[in-house]
Structures are given as structure tokens and as C-alpha cells.
Amino acid sequence: MSLQLFELKGRRALVTGSSQGIGLALAAGLQAAGAAVVLNGRDDKKLAAAVASFAAPVGVIAFDVTDHQTAREAIDRFETDTGPIDILVNNAGMQFRAPLEDYPADAFERMLRTNISSVFNVGQAVARHMIGRGQGKIINIASVQTALARPSIAPYTATKGAVGNLTKGMATDWARYGLQCNAIAPGYFDTPLNAALVSDETFSAWLEKRTPAGRWGKVEELVGACIFLASDASSFVNGHILYVDGGITASL
């Protein structure tokens, strides 16, 4: 009986930004747990390669998550033509590193749209349908930078702090309608977004000393948290930020 709490068979999950990295790993994990998975992205070639990596069929819904009207129209059309989205994973995001005093204004605005506006745009579009059904799961991908800061990524830190608080706001507004809205906050994971850091021997050595687990995370290690928050096992978990970081936020 307890294992059935984690069963996702019969549910459909949309994962934004799922053509690579964390999004792709989470989509694969949700499918393995029984969910019908729908991938999202803007790069058709990357999406095609991602689809080809799955042994079982997956859906695709290509739209720009940073455009509010486009996101709403795409979600409404999908719900009408294909069926309900039971689980939403807001994963789309970007990184740009530069000293704060030299940070380009256009990069800052682009980061706001990609890391924050996308969560609002897709979250609102999907929630409107979930509210009518009286149930739904929204999982936002935050970061260890939701709680901590490092040099050269102040705007990224600001956006991920906002994702954490928007998650709490979603839960506060939508829990009454039967939705559970939570966030996963990854620590340092070996992903394309972190490729420059992974290849930096000095940084990797610092990270291994700074992290109690003593290593980079593997994207597959985020899957369990996602399945938990997507399933009935988390039916009374709302507005929570689940840090999956090897202990880095617990230690000085």
C-alpha cells in the first residue's frame, strides 16, 4: 500500500525546458514511475534528440515559456486537444555569470523572463485547468541559490529566491483548490548549465570541500524528490522547498 502512494500511472506530466540536463532527467524519472510525459523546449533539434532518448513514446509541446500569451494559448490548446496536465514541472532556466557591477542589463532582463516569468506564465496557465478539476501538482525548480549567494551570479540568486517565494505564494492561493505547489532546490549538479564549473578544477576542489557529501550531484539523484512531490505521497505538503544539495545548505 505504501509504495502505491508513489504511483503515477494514469497521470500526465509536463516538464518545461526538458530537452537536456535536469529537465530531461526528471522527465525520464516521471515516465519510469508511470506518468505520461510531455517535453517542452524552444530548440526543435534538441527536443527531437530528447524524444529519441526515450524507449517509450513521449509527447511534445513546443512554446516559449517566457511569453505569457503564447504559454496560455499552448496550454489551453493542449488541454482541449490532448487532455489534462496533472503534473507541471517548471524547470526552464538559464545562467549568466558576470561581476554585479558589470552585469549587462539585457542579460538581467533575459534572466528575469526565463527564470521567473516562465514559472508564473506556465504555472498560471496550467493551474487554471487544475483548479477546475480540484487537483494538481506544480513543482518549481529552485536552487541552492534560493538560500545562498556566490560572487558573479547575483541576478541568478535573485531569480531563484523569487522562485522560492512564488512557490509559497502559489501554495497559499491554490492549496484551497486541491493543488500542491512545491519546489525542488538542487545544489551543484553536473549539467550542461554548469559545464564551465565542472571543468574548473579549482572550483570543483572547492565544492567538494564545501559540500558535506564531498562531490557534485548526479541529475538522477533529483528524480526521487520529484516523484515524491508529484505523487499522492505528498498530499499534505504545500509551499515547501526541498533542498537536494548534499548538505551544502546545512553546513558552514
Q: What is the pLDDT of residues 65-88, one digit of tens each?
A: 999 999 999 999 999 999 999 999
Q: Which residues pair with 184 in a beta bridge?
A: 141, 242
Query: Catalytic pick from 103, 156, 177, 243?
Result: 156
Active site residue 156: yes
Q: Say whether pLDDT at 51 is over 70.
A: yes
Q: Say whether pLDDT at 206 is over 70.
A: yes
Q: How many other CB atoms are there within 10 angstroms of residue 137's CB atom? A: 25
What value does the mean pLDDT take over residues 171-186? 98
Check residue 192 and give its pLDDT: 83
Contact 154, 214 (CB under 8 A): no
Check residue 58 and give its pLDDT: 97
Q: Say whether pLDDT at 224 is over 90.
A: yes
Fold of 3-243: Rossmann fold (3.40.50)
Please state whether the predicted TM-score (pTM) of the whole model is above 0.75: yes
Check residue 3 and give its pLDDT: 84
Break the chain into its structural domains and give their ranges: 3-243
Q: Which residues pair with 38 in a beta bridge?
A: 14, 59
What value does the mean pLDDT take over residues 204-215? 96
Q: Say whether pLDDT at 64 is over 70.
A: yes
Check residue 148 and give its pLDDT: 96
Q: Say whether pLDDT at 1 is over 60.
A: no
What value does the mean pLDDT take over residues 28-48? 95
Check residue 196 and give its pLDDT: 87
Q: What is the DSSP letter of 189?
A: B
Average pLDDT, rounded, for the chain: 96
Q: Say whether pLDDT at 7 is over 60.
A: yes
Work out the angle between the directed axes of helices 118-133 and 154-174 (0-180°, nearest 10): 10
Q: Residue 13: which H helix or E strand, with range?
A: strand 12-15
